[in-house]
Amino acid sequence: MSQKIPISPPPFAQDVVARLTELLQTLTAGKLPEIPPLADCLNVLTNMNFLYGLGLGIIGLVYLLRGWKVFKMLVALNAATIGGVAGAMIMIQLGMQDQWWIGMLIGAGVLGVLSWPLISIFIAVFGAGAGAALGYSAFYQIVTQLHRGDLVPFAWVAAIAGAILIAILTFVIFRQCVVILTAAQGGVMLTAGSLCLLFKHPTLHEIISVNILKNPSWLFVIVLSFTIIGLIVQFVNTNREKQAAAKKSSSSQSS
């Protein structure tokens, strides 16, 4: 009788699940999470497989440059990813570590399918998540730089404000929010994928990681630069589409 070999998730996926589990435990305990050290984030990219890094960079380019054009597919991909991670975590929490992939498939399928008819709601939820993360991290970094650690417990206020603001904006200026969110996510993914690939070279890994740790603002500048490029490309393309549609509509009415 053949013995079943358990399917283990990739090492970087194990790191991500472990950190998300720790984050969930922190939140359920009524505590505020701390932003993970930059060195830990770089270690995750270092341990990531070359093919995963390449895929991350390619998908990031799609988000960055074609976000509005295929945003429904990208929202479904986001939903499926979150559902897959949540499903795997639930299976692990239930003590079924070897069946993590079953929960992943179920979670990815359910959220991926639901996102299609509920596209506006899912975009609002993703926007709220991005706004909460941005508000929380901005508040955290500001009070930390000002050496006002006593204000850190109030970071949740900035997170809620950011979540509400972005969620509302997704309904008011839908197209613009989709472009901004997809460009920002694409900038982050492209940066992460590029670093993963560059880190495979020992010399480049040492040079890049040392300089980023010395000047963390460089990482922000890189992500921001990619995001701005994506915003320009997407807004130019969407404006061209609107002008072409308006010209076609006016020509059909005149005829």
- What pLDDT, in 10s, does the model give residues 224-247? 999 999 999 999 998 887 777 777
Provide the mean pLDDT of the chain: 87
Structural domain total, the chain:
1
* Enclosing domain of residue 152: 37-240
| Residue 52 in tokens | 């995963």
CA distance 227 to 238: 16
Q: What is the pLDDT of residues 43-88, one digit of tens each?
A: 989 988 899 999 999 999 999 999 999 999 999 999 999 999 899 8
Give the pLDDT band (50/70/90) at residue 40.
confident
Q: How far is CA 114 from the centre of its chain?
A: 19
Tokens of 111: 């959220």
Is position 17 within any domain? Answer: no
Residue 194 lies in a domain: yes
Domain-located, residue 1: no
Query: What dihedral do alpha carbons 231, 234, 235, 236 form, nearest 10°?
Result: 120
Contact assessment for residue 114 and residue 123, using Cβ atoms and an 8 Å cutoff: no
**Structural domain includes residue 76:** yes
Whether the Cβ atoms of residue 21 and residue 93 lie closer than 8 Å to each other: yes
CA distance 175 to 177: 5
**Nearest of 12, 58, 53, 52 to residue 193 by alpha carbon:** 53
Sequence-separated (6 or more) residues with CB below 8 Å from residue 251: none
- pTM for this predicted structure: 0.85
What is the average pLDDT across 200-215?
Answer: 94
